[in-house]
Every structure is written in structure tokens, then in C-alpha cells.
Amino acid sequence: MSDTLLDQMIAAALAAGETIMDIYEAPFEATEKADGSPVTFADQQAEAIILEMLTPIGLPILAEESVAAGRVPALGERYFVVDPLDGTKEFIKRNGEFTVNIALVENGRPVQGVVTAPALGFGYAGGPEGAVKFDISDGQAGQKTGISVDRNSPLRIVASRSHGHEALESLCDTLEISENVSVGSSLKFCLLAEGKARLYPRFTPTCEWDTAAGQAVLEAAGGTVLTLDGKPLNYGKTDKQFLNQYFVASDDPKIATKAANLMAELIR
């Protein structure tokens, strides 16, 4: 995987991760944005670094903190989507389960994505050539190892560490889930991508920057992400303030479709 643009995305995510870790390892405070969600200095500094590194490429950049400040670029058919610190609640809890997310969207679909977990020391990337996982050491990416979904593994479901839903238990019972793995941020998509889980149902709100990079990695690894009407999760929803519908991610389109139908019934 030697795509120049993807390499630039990885470099930007790694640089942001270094700044995040400098703040993470020192005392910090969190404040609330207008929507009530938490934000820290790390979110803001990481985004500034990513914008500085990606802006020269010349594509629009839809970035979470910029949008929160009212700076929404005109989006064309091709643009970046950035969440500089996904899992701010996990960052505040200091459990390490937060990520840096950068995706490239083309014609409403995330076609390349990078997810790094700076506190955990690894990252993921995905695109047309497939998906990889790599270690992070001293702010640099190590050797990339190919990953793919595993449709022969037990039917493990991955859920949010910070966002649950009462319908989740019913879904697990109906699908006869063997294990529920809880993890924060976009790492949920990545667990599916490397075959450690098979289903990620989302019953609570997300925005496009929360999902684009993880979706790109998962789809590059052979997985799928569907909304509850059975359609692919798409991007560029300016009329909805970039809010996603509820969705299900899976390694198998058949399982995703079945889960999406069940989820739609459970929330009626």
C-alpha cells in the first residue's frame, strides 16, 4: 500500500497523535461545546495540525471542531473528513480508547481512511488496495500488515464504551450473539476489519466525522456499513448538519441486512 495521498493522511494522523499524547500525559481540562459534548485542548490542537498538513493538497476539509465553530467548507465530489480526537470521553477517562480519524470521501462514499490509536500504539489504514494495521513508535508508522474480516469467527458484537441502548440486549438475544465486546471510538470498526468482532450496531447518534475513516477501513477489509433501510451509509449530508442515521456495520452483507431489519423493528 504505497498510495501517496493515503501516506499523507497517515502522516497527518501520526503528527496529531503526538500532540494529543503530550496533552494526555499532563493535567488538562475539558469544556462543553454548544451541543453538550466535551472538548479539550487536544481536540483543537490536533485539528490544527491536520489542517496545516492537508490543506496544501487542495481538497476541502470537513473537520469536527471547525464545523462546531461555524466553519463549514463548500464540499465538492472529493474532500477530507476529519475527527481529530474521536472518543473524547475515553480521552478524559484516560482509558486509551480514543483515535485520530481521517477519511477521503468521493461521490458520497469513504474510499480511503486512517484510524490511529496513539495511546495504544497502533493504527489502521484502508483504501482500494485493501486494509492494513501498523504499530506506532516514536510518532512513526511501523511495518504494515494486511488485515481482513473473518466470517468464520464466532458472532461477536462490538458496542460503545460510552453509548448504549436498551434495544441492544434484544438484538443480541435474537441473533444469538456469542460475546459482547465493549470498546470506545472508531476502534469498533477496526475490530471488525481485523476479524476480532463481526457486528457493530449503532442505535445512538453519530456524525460523519465519527464514522468515515472507520467505515473506509472496514470496507477495505471486506466489510459493509448499512443504514436501517438497507442502504450504504453515505456522506455529504449538509442538509442534516452531517448527522448519520442509525446504522449497522458487519463483516457480512447478509448479517448486516438481517441486523438492520431487526434494529428497525426494535426502535419502532
Nearest Cα residue to 232 out of 244, 240, 217: 244
Give how far Cα 22 sits from Cα of 26, 34, 55, 118, Å.
7, 26, 24, 11
The amino acid that residue 204 corresponds to is T
What integer pLDDT is reported at residue 184 of this predicted model? Answer: 83
**Grid coordinates standing for 226?**
448499512
Quote the CA–CA distance of 99 and 118 in Å, as a whole number: 7
d(CA 10, CA 8): 5
CB 186 within 8 A of CB 214: yes
Low-confidence ranges of the chain (pLDDT < 70): 1-2, 36, 160-165
Q: What class is the 156-266 domain?
A: alpha beta
Q: According to the model, what pLDDT value does residue 62 have?
A: 98
Backbone angles phi, psi at 209, to 5 degrees: -70, -20
Other CB atoms within 10 Å distance of the CB of residue 22: 11
From the list 77, 93, 87, the residue with the least C-alpha distance to 28 is: 93
- Fold of domain 4-147: Fructose-1,6-Bisphosphatase; Chain A, domain 1 (3.30.540)
Domain boundaries, the chain: 4-147, 156-266
Return the pLDDT at 135. Answer: 98
